[in-house]
Amino acid sequence: MTDTVTGAPPAATHSALSPTDELARWLELFDAALTRGDVQAATGLFTADCHWRDLIGFTWNLKTVEGHDGVRDLLAGTLAATQPASWATEGQASQAGGVTEGWFTFETAVARGRGYARLKDGLCWTLLTTLYELKGFEEKKGRARIKGAEHGVQKGRQNWTERRAQEEAELGITVQPYVLVIGGGQGGIGLGARLKRLGVPALVIDKHPRPGDQWRSRYKSLCLHDPVWYDHMPYLPFPDDWPVFCPKDKIGDWLEMYTKVMELNYWSSTECVKAKYDEETKEWEVHVLRSGEPLVLRPKQVVFALGMSGVANVPQIEGAETFKGIQHHSSQHPGGDAFKGKKAIVLGANNSAHDICADLWENGADVTMLQRSSTHIVRSDSLMDLALGGLYSEQALENGLTTDMADLIFASVPFRIMHTFHIPVYEEIQKRDADLYERLRKAGFMLDFGDDGSGLFMKYLRRGSGYYIDVGACDLVANGDVKLKSGVDIARITEHSVILSDGTELEADLIVYATGYGSMNGWVERLVSPEMAAKVGKCWGLGSDTTKDPGPWEGELRNMWKPTQQEALWFHGGNLHQSRHYSRYLALQLKARMEGLDTPVYGLQEVHHAA
């Protein structure tokens, strides 16, 4: 007996199968329906509340669809061009709480893919499909690696050093890059490595004198807030004795080393001045200053890799121009060494604000934090133990979970339901760290756990702000060592003080604006045009209709790592984990275009917000 719509056996039959056999059976039915071109039968293999997240496998886009209507529309729009086949389980599936889940592989007409599925009663609840390589354009690795040595004799041959020097001398001068990556921090460097491995002529430019200076130039106490297992770069993981939380200068040195050994074409001391896209020639004209010398680059594709944020938000405050002390944005804060005995005001209460307050206090400054709105606080240890440890930890590695596997499992949870996975975690964290939260509240600190109690990562995805991973500064606030004024803003600045919105006057020698950043398309507005910035729209956020993330629902992060409304313009950024994982899909999209593969984009994101 079979289901008359899907051809699937009834749920009772599924329950008699092992988890791996159940997944294999579902893949067999799905494959058969797709091979027949039977969209209706394929759709019937999903639960009514299903979610399918596709990372360029079917859609040449980062796209999530929901429900039968979403699956049906995606398949109707992509099946003929994709030609999926060869669906097979990979490893052993598992079952818990009525959900069977496991890995699988598949192929398309032009690529090979890997995915992760969760089944309920024999039907697919969540499906992740991703590509990892293009047929005929595989990375030269493993058995396909290059020899390096050229045995035999040859007059006038170049050795590796000479060939590398020639490539560096020519690219951007006599040979134009196919891809120009603007921004040479960890995001741009990681993407550059992926493009290099794929044989895409790419040039990474950055205004700093050396790779890694983005980190070296920050205040001296800065360390990564995420643990080492979460932060690896593509291809080259950190050594197994690397610190759990890497100091800024150490990560700077790693990035400089990585740039060299991965043989990236990287121009330091190079700043993009302006750019424009020629719709007729399908080519960019990018004006740069390289060590002060003006040059014009003409790439086919441009990637803005300037972090997950845009231009620094510096508030315009009455009287700021009269201030006799020092004032700067948190991104320009050099450290607290020069402010011993000085009165410091830090406007803001998120990650940078807490770090800078702690840095100033350690250097003997009299510090006051001004908290304008509530902040989510989570202790680093609790975050590691309860939120990240299952995927990114020494224990996860010992359990056989590689970084690539962890990245895919993380990606397999659709954003629409991700908060439901996180709410119980943060409920447990609130119990675990109840004493800290009570002390902060008594000090007047305004706390939140997100609009729906889902905590850090959802706040990060939705708005990219509003949180602090506590590595010690919270105790300073709770104890009163760092003074706190909450629910206020700076109304006016005088020569030697700030006047708050409640009328309080505070003496000040230093004002730090830890006030965040605008959307990444702010760089497009500055370097290309306001019209193009409006055309591509706001970057980041899900459209969750929560604080600072206005609807409608998008399903994926706006504009990140995928085609935008402007041809040949891309955005890359996020934390080290996101930069590592999603650079794979961005690099494959760029390689496919360079090689002339057909890349029909399904579900190109509409623009609902300009900034």
Whether 607 is covered by a domain: the verdict is: no
Confidence bin at 11 (pLDDT 50/70/90): very low
Please give the tally of structural domains in the chain. 3
Asked if residue 496 has pLDDT above 50, the reply is: yes
**Domain limits at 439?**
320-513
Given a contact cutoff of 8 angstroms between Cβ atoms, the answer to whether 30 and 45 are in contact is yes
Spell out the residues 6+ positions from residue 539 whose beta carbon is closer than 8 angstroms to its own: 308, 310, 519, 520, 521, 557, 558, 559, 560, 571
Backbone angles phi, psi at 49, to 5 degrees: -105, 35
Whether 64 is covered by a domain: the verdict is: yes
114 and 19 inside one domain:
yes
Whether 601 is covered by a domain: the verdict is: no
Burial 283-295 (b: 16+ CB within 10 A, else e): bbebebebeeeeb
Spell out the residues 6+ positions from residue 75 whose beta carbon is closer than 8 angstroms to its own: 34, 39, 42, 43, 58
| Overall average pLDDT of the 157-179 stretch | 95
Largest CA distance in the chain: 84
Spell out the residues 6+ positions from residue 141 whose beta carbon is closer than 8 angstroms to its own: 197
For the domain that residue 442 is a member of, what is the CATH number?
3.50.50.60
Cα-Cα-Cα-Cα torsion 242, 243, 246, 252, nearest 10 degrees, comes to -30
For 526, counting Cβ atoms within 10 Å of its Cβ (0-12 exposed, 13-18 middle, 19+ buried), the class is middle
Instruction: Give the pLDDT score at 5.
Output: 37
305 and 425 inside one domain:
no
304 and 249 inside one domain:
yes
For 161, counting Cβ atoms within 10 Å of its Cβ (0-12 exposed, 13-18 middle, 19+ buried), the class is exposed
75 and 185 inside one domain:
no
Given a contact cutoff of 8 angstroms between Cβ atoms, the answer to whether 440 and 447 are in contact is yes
418 and 276 inside one domain:
no
| Mean residue pLDDT across the chain | 95
Per-residue model confidence as pLDDT tens digits over 87-111: 999 999 999 999 999 999 999 999 9
Per-residue model confidence as pLDDT tens digits over 236-247: 999 999 999 999
| Claim: this prediction has a pTM higher than 0.85 | yes
292 and 387 inside one domain:
no
Asked if residue 12 has pLDDT above 50, the reply is: no
Asked if residue 307 has pLDDT above 80, the reply is: no
The two three-digit tokens of residue 356, written as one number? 């800078």
DSSP collapsed to 3 states, 539-570: CCCCCCCECCECCCCCCCCCCECCCCCCCCEE
